[in-house]
């Protein structure tokens, strides 16, 4: 059986796979651009009450960054367990740092 | 097999960036470094958040920031992220020329971004007399955005050295990990920018 | 380079060899010697402090010089002595324990060392250039902003450079452990020292960037007129405290966790038992690291963060006692019923358990935010952190040195001298610091250069100083032991302690390629398994073949030297703009080195199979 494997077939399979992958990347790029436009839009038009704007902006940023990490940087793929562990570790330390510096700096 | 041989479709592994131990090490090392960078930028963001209203009578966020230029800069950097994705796509297809082309576009977009940033700083300093020394907010703003800009400068130098060095010899297992780690670094710069335009500019505009 | 050529060389060639080496074992020796030198320097500073405090209103040191002493003692001991000594042990042993031939990034490993060394030298240059830093090792703003002269500038640049070196070292160890473990060496079969190296490196990765940013802010304020900590321009001094302790608290776990690893390996070796509760030990290590990030504000209870913040950080701090307790009981459990050998390494280990437990208990006392208002900035705190850092880290380093000396240097340290230095140091340590708990509770504040007489502080301080001298003598005997051993000591066999882990399966000192054939690991304590169930020798996982080794390089040394020059430029450009030239020259040198590194290909070289076969087994 092993002799029958056609290298061309393997290659075309691989090419197809990375093409599909590229399609996903393009979709995520479109979404990222969309999120950015929404974010700038709501600030530019003053459409939403100030109290909701800030959390909304942050959510849009986080979702966009998740696309960046999981699709552009392939964190969703196999072999990325340790990278994602370290990124989440960094995010954990980062959140604590930001929380402290924005909440408990004395005034 | 020597590392210096260019890859042809027959010898091409599916993930050339991780095919050697050195490649795997570089891949993980850069990812871990990005974990540390996350904390570095968090410290800068935290400092900025603590000081963003400490204007000492000088210009505040609502006076300074305009949306147009920042939007352009965002589009430039986001697009450069996509072009470096295309470059890695071409790397997997073992199309070295196209990869270099896409990376060239990435570099141009990065330079355009930097030019906008320099113009922005120049504008603040000359129109508003808003400098690094004028208030704690000024120090925090220029430090945070400047650190990001410094990362862009470093990334561009890295990319240019990489492209020039390998222009004539094509893709191989020795330089594939270098290209790949660069693209990771470049995406991370974009990630930081997403938070900068959100936290500094948009939230600053909201007030 | 052949194996024979590597051995037969003159003095200059040997110096060149060490300047360019990328071999983890040689870099380890460099770390150990540089760290040892700074340890003696820091010890000398400690003795000066204690001489000043030997009697009330002493005038041995001026107030200003005393401030410089305490600052440099703390900074030197933490950054330039304890950390490099531990990094040295990690470098020497961890790759051997996991069955690797080198680390993942040999070039960066060497760069990390030279950055540390040049940073340390830069910091200590301040002594000869108008005065050392004098704002305490914590360098709190606004004191550090107001401090005149260039002392604090040297602190900033020195720590910035050596901190970068440590961060590089951390990433290097992480990747090494992830990708370069031998076949069969799963994570849960790694010796505890390798595990703690891994977890410590994670802490380095996430803690040091906060210090980097803090130092940058301080640097911008002092050297470039920024206003981060300048209250008149809206700055906020609490930011420095947060950033410093977000780094600073994980830092103490960066120091203590490797020591825990050393003790775990020593106890199981000399009790002839598998480490009791291995899984729990690994889990406890990770838990300590995790909790270690959520407790930094317990250094800031009196800053005025409010009762809610104080309560949260108090509880988180107390929670750390739980995993630490798990560890203490597991060590006791390992020894229980074991066949215990007591030698110098084991003596340090046995002394560590009660000493560290005392430090841990005062730690829980300090964790109580309400009580801390009473303890804060008194000698009680000084006593506490010396109990954990000396009783934990220094004991750990000394135990580790006795244990691994044969593996690193090929000779066994003299037992008689070892025991003598232990007893003097151990007794001196408790004399020095136990009494300080009470001095602190009586209200003696830390960092004051004098105390008044007849306030009940006289005798205690005298006792403390006597103890410090005993520690000094103990330390000196350890140095004599090193010299004596290197001249007269017996040559060590491959496995002098009847060891359990992989490093004892190869010759002492190991050949520069470590393992002729990559070993096959069949379980926890692989060598012990082969001794009891196998042939007594590790089974190779591969046939004898060519070994790939990395190229040596002088670039790390030059690059670090460039940063060193640039450091002076940054410090003095405030006085005269001509010093900007030093920045350009220094940074230019470093950048050119980076450029050369990226333009040149480094493929390494191969040791051929025939050459390996010629070497006797």
pLDDT in tens, C276-335: 999 999 999 999 999 999 999 999 999 989 999 999 999 999 999 999 999 999 999 999
Per DSSP, the residues of chain B read --TTSPP-TTT--S-GGGSSHHHHHHHHHHHHHHHHHHHHHHHHHHHHHHHTT--TTS--HHHH--HHHHHHHHHHHHHHHHHHHHHHHHHHTT-HHHHHHHHHHHHHHHHHHHHHHHHHHHHHHHHH---TTT-HHHHHHHHHHHHHHHHHHHHHHHHHHHHHHHTTT---TTTHHHHHHHHHHHHHHHHHHHHIIIIIIIHHHH-
Residue C548 phi, psi (nearest 5):
-95, 125
What band does A90 get if pLDDT is binned at 50, 70 and 90? very high
Please state the rounded mean pLDDT for residues C459-481: 97
Q: Does the structure show a pLDDT above 80 at C1? A: no
Tens-digit pLDDT profile for residues C148-182: 999 999 999 999 999 999 999 999 999 999 999 99
Distance from CA of B109 to the nearest CA of A (A): 16
Residue bearing tokens 């130092």: C215
The per-residue pLDDT for C3 is: 47
Does any domain span residue C377? yes
Q: How many other CB atoms are found less than 10 A from the CB of residue C469?
A: 17
Checking if the pLDDT of C535 tops 90, the result is: no
Please determine, for residue B207, whether its predicted confidence score (pLDDT) is greater than 90: no
Task: Tell me the three state secondary structure of residue C342.
Answer: coil
Instruction: Name the residue ranges covered by the structural domains of chain B.
Output: 36-206
Counted domains in chain C? 1
3-state secondary structure of C501: coil
- Residue C484 has a pLDDT of 96
Mean pLDDT of chain B: 92
Rounded Cα distance between C16 and C25, Å, is 16
Q: Is residue C586 part of a domain?
A: no
Give the Å distances, CA to CA, from B196 to B141, B143, B199, B203, C393: 10, 12, 5, 10, 41
Q: Identify all chain B residues contacting C213, using CB atoms and an 8 Å cutoff.
A: 40, 43-44, 47
Which CATH number does the domain housing residue C344 bear?
1.20.210.10
pLDDT average, residue stretch B80-107: 94
Q: Which helix (H) or strand (E) holds C606?
A: strand C605-607
Please provide residue C491's backbone torsions phi and psi, each rounded to the nearest 5 degrees.
Answer: -70, 135
Binding-face residues of C in 161-190 toward A, CB within 8 A:
174, 178
- For C209, which of B43, B54, B143 is closest by C-beta distance? B43
CATH class of the domain comprising B36-206: mainly alpha
Confidence of residue A2 (pLDDT cuts 50, 70, 90): very low
* Residue of B46, B47, B163 for testing the chain C interface, max C β-carbons within 10 Å: B47
d(CA C134, CA C120): 16
Q: What is the domain range of residue C161?
A: 11-553+602-614
Give the integer Cα–Cα distance in Å for C187 and C185: 7
Work out the percent of chain B whose per-residue pLDDT is above 70.
94
Please say whether the beta carbons of C269 and C499 come within 8 A.
yes
Other CB atoms within a 10 A radius of the CB of residue C544 amount to 12
Mean pLDDT of chain C: 94
Confidence of residue B35 (pLDDT cuts 50, 70, 90): very high
The pLDDT value given to residue A17:
80
Q: Is C596 within a domain?
A: no
> What torsion do the CA atoms of C390, C396, C399, C403 make, to the nearest 10 degrees?
-160
The alpha carbon of residue C423 and the mean position of all alpha carbons in its chain are separated, in whole angstroms, by 23
* pLDDT of amino acid A16: 82
**Per-residue model confidence (pLDDT) at position B110:** 97
Sort out which chain B residues have CB atoms less than 8 A from A12's CB and list them: none
Chain-centroid distance, C-alpha C38: 11
How many angstroms separate the first and last alpha carbons of chain C? 20
The answer to whether C259 and C396 have CB atoms below 8 angstroms apart is: yes
Q: B touches which chains (3+ CB pairs under 8 A)?
A: A, C
3-class DSSP state for residue C519?
A: strand
Please judge whether C235 and B36 are an interchain contact, meaning their C-beta atoms are less than 8 angstroms apart.
no
Residue B128 pLDDT exceeds 50: yes
**pLDDT number for residue B1:** 39
Q: Once rounded to an integer, what is the mean pLDDT over residues C78-92?
A: 97
Q: Which residues of C touch A96 (CB under 8 A)?
A: 246, 293-294
In the prediction, which pLDDT does C2 show? 43
Give the pLDDT confidence score for residue C7 in this predicted structure.
Answer: 53
Those residues with Cβ within 8 angstroms of residue C335's Cβ, 6 or more apart along the chain or in another chain: C267, C271, C273
pLDDT value of residue A49: 83
How large is the average pLDDT for residues C116-143?
A: 95
Percentage of residues in chain B having pLDDT higher than 90 = 79
Distance CA B76, CA B70 (A): 10
CB C140 within 8 A of CB C87: no
Digit-coded pLDDT (tens) for C216-270:
999 999 999 999 999 999 999 999 999 999 999 999 999 999 999 999 999 999 9
On the question of pLDDT at A9 being above 80, the answer is no
Q: What is the mean pLDDT of residues C98-106?
A: 95
Lowest-confidence range among C178-192, C473-487, C553-567, C596-610? C596-610
Q: Which of C319, C353, C320, C324 is nearest to C336 (CA)?
A: C353
With an 8 Å Cβ cutoff, is B19 touching chain A?
Answer: no
For the cut 50, the answer to whether the pLDDT of residue B2 exceeds it is no
């Amino acid at each position: 059986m092993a002799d029958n494997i056609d290298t061309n077939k393997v290659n075309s399979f691989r090419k197809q796979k990375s093409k599909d992958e590229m399609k996903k990347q393009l979709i995520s790029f479109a979404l990222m651009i969309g999120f950015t436009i929404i974010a700038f839009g709501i600030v530019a038009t003053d459409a939403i009450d100030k109290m909701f704007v800030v959390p909304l902006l942050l959510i849009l940023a986080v979702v966009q960054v998740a696309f960046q990490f999981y699709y552009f940087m392939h964190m969703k793929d196999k072999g990325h367990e340790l990278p994602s562990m370290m990124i989440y570790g960094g995010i954990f330390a980062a959140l604590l740092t930001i929380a402290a510096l924005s909440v408990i700096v004395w005034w | 097999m020597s590392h210096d041989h260019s890859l042809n479709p027959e010898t091409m592994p599916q993930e050339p960036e991780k095919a050697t131990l050195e490649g795997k090490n570089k891949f993980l090392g850069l990812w871990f470094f990005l974990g540390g960078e996350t904390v570095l930028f968090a410290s800068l963001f935290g400092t900025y958040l603590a000081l963003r209203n400490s204007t000492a009578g000088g210009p505040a966020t609502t006076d300074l920031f305009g949306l147009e230029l920042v939007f352009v800069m965002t589009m430039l950097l986001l697009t450069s992220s996509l072009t470096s994705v295309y470059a890695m796509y071409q790397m997997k297809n073992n199309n070295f020329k196209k990869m270099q082309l896409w990376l060239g576009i990435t570099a141009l977009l990065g330079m355009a971004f930097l030019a906008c940033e320099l113009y922005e700083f120049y504008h603040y300093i000359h129109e508003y007399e808003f400098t690094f020394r004028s208030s704690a907010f000024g120090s925090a703003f220029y430090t945070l955005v400047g650190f990001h800009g410094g990362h862009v400068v470093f990334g561009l130098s890295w990319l240019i050295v990489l492209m020039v060095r390998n222009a004539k010899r094509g893709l191989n297992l020795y330089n594939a990990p270098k290209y790949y780690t660069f693209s990771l670094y470049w995406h991370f710069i974009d990630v930081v920018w997403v938070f900068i335009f959100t936290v500094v500019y948009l939230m600053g505009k909201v007030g | 380079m052949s194996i024979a050529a590597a051995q037969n060389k003159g003095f200059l060639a040997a110096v060149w060899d060490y300047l360019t080496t990328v071999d983890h074992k040689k870099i380890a020796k460099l770390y150990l010697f540089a760290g040892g030198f700074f340890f003696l320097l820091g010890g000398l500073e400690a003795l000066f402090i204690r001489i000043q405090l030997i009697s009330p209103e002493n005038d041995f040191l001026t107030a200003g010089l005393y401030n410089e002493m305490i600052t440099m003692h703390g900074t030197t001991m933490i950054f330039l002595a304890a950390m490099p000594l531990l990094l040295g042990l990690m470098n020497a042993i961890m790759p051997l324990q996991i069955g690797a031939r080198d680390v993942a990034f040999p070039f960066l490993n060497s760069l990390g060392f030279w950055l540390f060394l040049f940073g340390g030298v830069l910091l200590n240059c301040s002594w000869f250039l108008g005065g050392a830093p004098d704002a305490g090792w914590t360098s709190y703003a606004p004191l550090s902003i107001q401090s005149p002269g260039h002392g604090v500038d040297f602190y900033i640049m020195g720590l910035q450079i050596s901190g970068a070196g440590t961060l590089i070292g951390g990433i290097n160890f992480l990747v090494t452990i992830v990708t370069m473990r031998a076949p069969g060496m799963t994570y849960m079969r790694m010796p505890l020292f390798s595990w703690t190296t891994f977890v410590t490196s994670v802490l380095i990765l996430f803690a040091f960037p906060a210090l980097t940013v803090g130092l940058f802010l301080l640097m911008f304020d002092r050297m470039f007129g920024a206003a981060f900590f300048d209250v008149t321009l809206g700055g906020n001094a609490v930011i420095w405290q947060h950033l410093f302790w977000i780094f600073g608290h994980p830092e103490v776990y960066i120091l203590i966790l490797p020591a825990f690893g050393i003790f775990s390996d020593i106890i199981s070796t000399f009790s002839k038992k598998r480490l009791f509760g291995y899984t729990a030990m690994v889990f406890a290590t990770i838990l300590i690291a995790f909790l270690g990030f959520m407790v930094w504000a317990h250094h800031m209870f009196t800053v005025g963060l409010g009762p809610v913040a104080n309560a949260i950080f108090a509880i988180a701090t107390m929670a750390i006692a739980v995993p630490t307790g798990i560890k203490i009981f597991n060590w006791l459990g390992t020894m229980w019923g074991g066949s215990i050998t007591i030698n110098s390494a084991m003596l340090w280990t046995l002394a560590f358990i009660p000493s560290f437990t005392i430090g841990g208990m005062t730690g829980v006392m300090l964790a109580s935010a309400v009580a801390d208002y009473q303890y804060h900035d008194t000698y009680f705190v000084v006593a506490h952190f010396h109990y954990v850092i000396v009783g934990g880290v220094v004991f750990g380093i000394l135990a580790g040195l006795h244990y691994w000396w044969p593996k690193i240097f090929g000779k066994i340290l003299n037992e008689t001298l070892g025991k003598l230095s232990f007893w003097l140091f151990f007794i001196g340590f408790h004399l020095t610091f136990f009494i300080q708990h009470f001095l602190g509770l009586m209200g003696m504040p830390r960092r004051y250069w004098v105390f008044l007489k007849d306030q009940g502080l006289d005798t205690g301080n005298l006792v403390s100083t006597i103890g410090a001298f005993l520690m000094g003598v103990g330390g000196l005997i350890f140095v004599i032991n090193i010299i004596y051993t290197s001249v007269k000591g017996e040559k060590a066999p491959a496995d002098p302690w009847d060891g359990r882990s992989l490093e004892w399966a190869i010759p002492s000192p190991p050949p520069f390629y470590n393992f002729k054939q990559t070993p096959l690991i069949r379980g926890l304590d692989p060598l012990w398994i082969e001794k009891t169930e196998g042939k007594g020798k590790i089974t190779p996982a591969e046939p004898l073949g060519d070994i790939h080794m990395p190229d040596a390089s002088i670039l790390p040394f030059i690059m670090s030297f460039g940063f060193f020059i640039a450091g002076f430029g940054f410090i003095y450009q405030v006085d005269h703009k001509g010093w900007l030239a030093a920045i350009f020259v220094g940074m230019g040198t470093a950048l050119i080195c980076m450029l050369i590194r990226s333009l040149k290909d480094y493929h390494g070289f191969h040791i051929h199979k025939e050459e390996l076969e010629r070497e006797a087994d």
